[in-house]
């Protein structure tokens, strides 16, 4: 997922994080300057749904405008088909059958 807050805000005439922070405060969401800077410049690892709801209300958008899917990134994380099929390059695990345990020390 790609966080698209900055572009979505710019499309609505909000060019600075301080302006966005002021509008969020007017809507009832007080955000610290540090957290606003993080939301503005990076992709958050988590966000409260209540906060997302207020952000969407201020920007008059939906969550799909702020969270953009990246199917290419998901496809790049999948293992290659050859490794899944047991290619010679992937290590082969051989199970040990029976009770081939060592004896305890005397």
A 10 A CB-CB count for 65 gives: 16
Q: What is the CATH number of the domain that holds 47?
A: 1.10.260
Query: Any residues with CB less than 8 A from the CB of 18 and at least 6 apart, and which?
Result: 36
- Joined together, the tokens standing for residue 99 give 């009770």
- Rounded to two decimals, what is the model's pTM? 0.69
**What is the mean predicted confidence (pLDDT) over 85-95?**
62
How confident is the model at residue 100, as a pLDDT?
66
Number of domains in the chain: 1
Residue pLDDT, tens place only, 23-46? 999 999 999 999 999 999 999 999
Domain extent at residue 26: 2-68
- For residue 96, tell me if it sits in a domain: no
Q: Which residue would you say has higher pLDDT here, 102 or 53?
A: 53
- For residue 103, tell me if it sits in a domain: no
Determine the length of the chain.
106
Give the whole-angstrom CA distance, residue 5 versus residue 27. 17
- For residue 6, tell me if it sits in a domain: yes
- For residue 56, tell me if it sits in a domain: yes
- For residue 82, tell me if it sits in a domain: no
Q: Which sign does the torsion angle of CA 78, 81, 86, 90 carry? A: negative
């Amino acid at each position: 997922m790609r966080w698209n807050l900055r572009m979505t805000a710019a499309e609505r005439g909000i060019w600075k994080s301080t302006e966005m922070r002021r509008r969020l405060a007017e809507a009832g969401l007080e955000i610290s300057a540090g957290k606003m800077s993080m939301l503005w410049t990076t992709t958050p690892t988590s966000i409260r749904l209540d906060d997302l709801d207020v952000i969407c209300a201020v920007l008059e958008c939906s969550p799909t405008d702020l969270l953009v899917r990246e199917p290419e990134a998901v496809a790049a994380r999948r293992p290659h088909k050859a490794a899944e099929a047991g290619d010679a390059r992937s290590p082969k695990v051989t199970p040990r059958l029976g009770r081939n345990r060592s004896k305890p020390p005397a």
